[in-house]
Amino acid sequence: MTALSPIILACSVGGFHHGNAHCLSYRSSSTSRDHFQLAAIPTLDKWKVIPSGSVIGTVRNHPAIADGDVITTSPIESPDMANRQAVVTTASGSRYKLLDPRGEDIGSAALNDIEEAALKAALSSSPQSSNKQQSSSFFAGWGVGKTASKTLEDSNVDRIREEDSVEALKKKIQNSPEWQDVARKYKLTGATIGLEDEYLLANKPERSTSGKSNIWIAYKADESTGLIVDNATPICMKVSTNLEAISREYENYRKLSFLGIWETGRFVRCYEFFPVAGYDKKFSNQCALAIERGSRDLKSYLNSRGRLEKKELRDACISATQCVQALHNAGLVWTDMKTENFVVMTNGEVKGIDLESAMPIGDYPVDYSPEACPPEFATAFLAGEGPYFELESSYDVWSLGMLMLELSTGKGYFDGKNPAQITNELRDMDETTMLEDLKKMKCDERLKDLICRCLQRDRRKRPNTAQIMLHPYFMVANPFSFFS
């Protein structure tokens, strides 16, 4: 697919790191650009400071983004100092001149805990490199000044020795017959993730549905032997250069973990987050997220099985609804609820994954999947207001209706159509036409009624998750089934 605008931009010229501004784009694609020389400070017009401390606005004079694109910057250093004609600096080192504001600022925020952890990790273990310009550029991305960079360079010898010793120990372990046997059995690559507690990577990676990450199979390594821990269960290791998206995903998992036992939803477990993925050269400028691994994603499972039926269908619908309910209880909107973002576990249970696009209720989306977005967003997007679309929980209710429709029929409502066609069709959708299509479905009449309620064009008429859980389709079999 061809993206309408870039998702993530990162340019580095002469040791200057300019990055992490992003534009709203199709969820299923990304666009990279070459490096450009910085000619002048870019301007942001009709700007607004959002809760994360970032600034959203219309950019001009940017070396790599077209004039008139709406972008969201990295968090700026002093959100409370953002004023007309002010020049602000982002956490990644970018500078922007602010023109006319869009409206009142909605609060300021310092760097979050994840970014601070990443900074500490970067300061304590910079990537091994003989190129000082590259090293300086890496730390400039965290807003580290020249003095800090000089200190890091002065202590570089000690770190190189430490990393060399780690690599030497790895090679010694990996040359042992025991490790070679384990490597063949589990198809280990020899690469590891983690600076202390390490995970061994296996097989070849797959690309995530967003295209932003590589997904590896990984095993916990024993601290003393470097081999796989006895009876270790394979996990999923999500590795990416996009620290912004992965740290947001980790923070969203954390928010869910703070909910009560009956409110956490059925998401995969999140084990660890690594702001710096590891000592290995190819991972030193990446981050990683260790999460519970499913047998396969729900989309491929559905393709192999056809539509789900009876108890299997009801259980999958309950799991999906619980996931949405948990996010809404945490004050979040998923914005990317689709079958690709659920996995089927070995016991048949369906669990949610991929929360890197989930944003606070009332905030703005960072990207979108056409097949999961509601008509009101498609309308705003095609009118040029997509980046300023304020998210409501009803967004996910529409997506839930689309997902239940796909589970019960075996195919997506918009299958075979490209993103532009889907978005235009959603904007122009006649609710009567969709209702007629739904009536032709061959499934439980109660489920059909529930789907129709979720897919009402008027978002004010869509039920909330509590009402959905009390719908007769879920209550008829077992009134307590959704608490299991």
How are strands ordered across the β-sheet holding 270-274? 188-193, 199-207, 214-220, 235-240, 287-291, 270-274
Task: Assign residue 223 a region (left: φ > 0; alpha: ψ between -120 and 50; beta: otherwise).
Answer: alpha
pLDDT at residue 456, as a whole number: 93
pLDDT > 90: percent of the chain: 40
pLDDT tens, position by position, 30-60:
333 332 223 468 899 888 888 778 888 888 8
* 270 close to 250: Cβ distance less than 8 angstroms: yes
Please provide the DSSP assignment of 264-311 as one string: S-SBPPEEEEESS-BSSGGGTT-EEEEE---SEEHHHHHHHH-S--HH
Question: What is the average pLDDT across 176-194?
Answer: 81
CA-CA-CA-CA torsion sign (195, 148, 134, 31): positive
Q: Domain 296-483 in CATH: superfamily?
A: Transferase(Phosphotransferase) domain 1 (1.10.510.10)
Q: At residue 293, does pLDDT exceed 60?
A: yes
Buried b (16+ CB within 10 A) or exposed e, 200-213: bbbeebeebbbebb
DSSP state of 331: T
pLDDT tens, position by position, 398-446:
999 999 999 999 989 999 999 999 999 999 988 777 777 777 777 788 9
d(CA 242, CA 250): 12
What pTM, to 2 d.p., does this model score? 0.69
| Burial of 307: CB neighbours in 10 Å, binned 0-12, 13-18, 19+ | middle
Mean pLDDT estimate for the chain:
76
d(CA 30, CA 212): 8
* 327 close to 336: Cβ distance less than 8 angstroms: no
CB count, 10 Å around CB of 483? 11
The ranges assigned to domains in the chain are 9-110, 114-253+267-291, 296-483
d(CA 456, CA 464): 12
Q: At residue 131, does pLDDT exceed 90?
A: no
d(CA 154, CA 152): 5
Question: Which is more confident, 56 or 470?
Answer: 470
* 16 close to 140: Cβ distance less than 8 angstroms: yes
| Burial of 165: CB neighbours in 10 Å, binned 0-12, 13-18, 19+ | exposed
